[in-house]
Chains A and B, each alone.
Chain A
């Protein structure tokens, strides 16, 4: 099963913010985490992650800093900000509402 493009796009921001809420991370590790969490259902084109991260940075939800990685190559690490956490909480409420609504109607369909 592949999740449709629109749904992937809609879930990108909360998913990224939630992963960064677990701890600071960088692009490649974030992609791996997404694959792990979704069991391969969410398919991202690797490159597309970066424009999204940059947009979140501009919106002030994440902050970025270049650090040397263990191999000596510089790497850009992302950290969630206070505003980012607030946004994550807000989006979580919205997803809960959507999820609750769908759950409600699907439960009815099961019981009828």
Chain B
């Protein structure tokens, strides 16, 4: 009887099958490892059944002898450390399953759709002329090429309802109308404002598609924040790679006397930029649970640096007594500074265990926020003192509005941080505040897109 390794005992075969599926879920174990271990289990079972045990008893003993699967897969991971690295690119199970393959196909189709969307306006009299200035039509509509396919991807992946789909589509449609219906003047500031604010407004629609009905669950929104950070990093990496490709394209084709301008600027760059949004998002989704996310790591790195920078700035200003030189668009610089600080607070919160007691890093965060507030306060003071010289242009009102939006966020964050550090409240309060505030950014951006052009006469 020895050597027989399939069993007539059907319940025993079922148990083996179940054990096998359980093993397959382990990322450190590959198909052939599972097969080898199953062979061992069957040999063991055959010996035990031969010795007179029932199928159930034999299974119990054989599985017990195999040892803890957690320990086993850890040992496998150690023996094959490269497998963990491979997962950075792609989880093996994702490749193997049908839905994983479907997802790759869908993402590729949507990426191509985004790229085609970029070229479609050419047919309606909006060519990308490589000898011209930056085509503002594409600037205004940039987010409308890549974001709708991205929203479709998430709704497909999470199984959206039709009603939800209609709402998201409505958001994009109104974005498209607002970007194209206004008669902007030549060199108009409000047109540039639309260009910068429409993506921020529409990112909310992508978020709604991403969280899929969990918008009012803070965890859902926090996941979207994490996703956004990771996507930004992936996009940057892809862009760097794309830049290298472009350099080589120029170098090689010019070497043979052909100018590839029309292809690089008219096709490669715009289509690649749109498609990369989809590819980057898919990569973030695919490797989600595999490693620690990058955005929180960068936050940990840059929080001390920015704190030092702000403190050094304040000390220098106090020491030399020189006031802020209020140039034309100095406010925009300070807006960006506040935005960076909000980002640091947001991503620090996204990686923090909300239950953990206050620590050194939380104190550092408070110091960062407070010094940013002081710096911004000084800047606002300098600007307010000379507001009569400047008047209220569209740019200045937008910059001022942004400053207020960010200032409110940071002031309340500082208050909540201080309370948390003094054990007056939990970290969850701060997290909840940040999550509740997210739509404010998009709503303000939508306001700029919808109201500013007519308000300032399209100039």
Contacts and interface: CB of A to CB of B under 8 A. Distances in A.
A51 B43 contact: no
B78 A50 contact: no
Interface in B30-57: 32-33, 35-37, 39-40, 42-44
A108 interface: no
Interface string A9-38: 000000000000000001110010000000
A69 B40 CA distance: 12
Residue of A51, A52, A73 with most chain B CB atoms under a 10 A cut-off: A51
Contacts of B37: 47, 50
A112 B25 CA distance: 61
A50 B68 CA distance: 13
B66 A45 contact: yes
B6 interface: yes
A46 B67 contact: yes
B115 to A, nearest CB: 43
Contact of A27 (B4, B5, B39): B39
A51 B76 contact: yes
Interface in A23-79: 26-28, 31, 45-48, 50-52, 54-55, 58, 66, 69-71, 73-76
A73 B36 contact: no
Chain A binding surface SS class = helix
B66 A46 contact: yes
Interface string B63-75: 0011111011001
B3 interface: yes
Nearest to B43: A28
A71 B35 contact: no
A51 B5 CA distance: 23
Given A51-B79, A71-B4, A46 B39 contact: no
A51 B75 contact: yes
B17 to A, nearest CB: 15
A28 B33 contact: no
Interface string A71-99: 10111100000000000000000000000
Contacts of A50: 33, 36-37, 40, 72, 76
A54 B76 contact: yes
A46 B40 contact: yes
Closest 10 CB pairs of A and B: A45-B67, A51-B75, A28-B43, A47-B67, A47-B66, A51-B79, A55-B79, A47-B72, A54-B79, A46-B65
Interface of B: 3-6, 32-33, 35-37, 39-40, 42-44, 65-69, 71-72, 75-76, 78-80
7 contacts: A28-B43, A31-B40, A50-B72, A50-B76, A51-B79, A52-B79, A54-B33
Given A28-B40, A45-B71, 18 more contacts: A26-B39, A31-B40, A45-B65, A45-B68, A46-B67, A47-B37, A47-B66, A48-B72, A50-B72, A50-B76, A51-B78, A54-B80, A55-B79, A66-B32, A70-B3, A71-B6, A73-B6, A76-B39
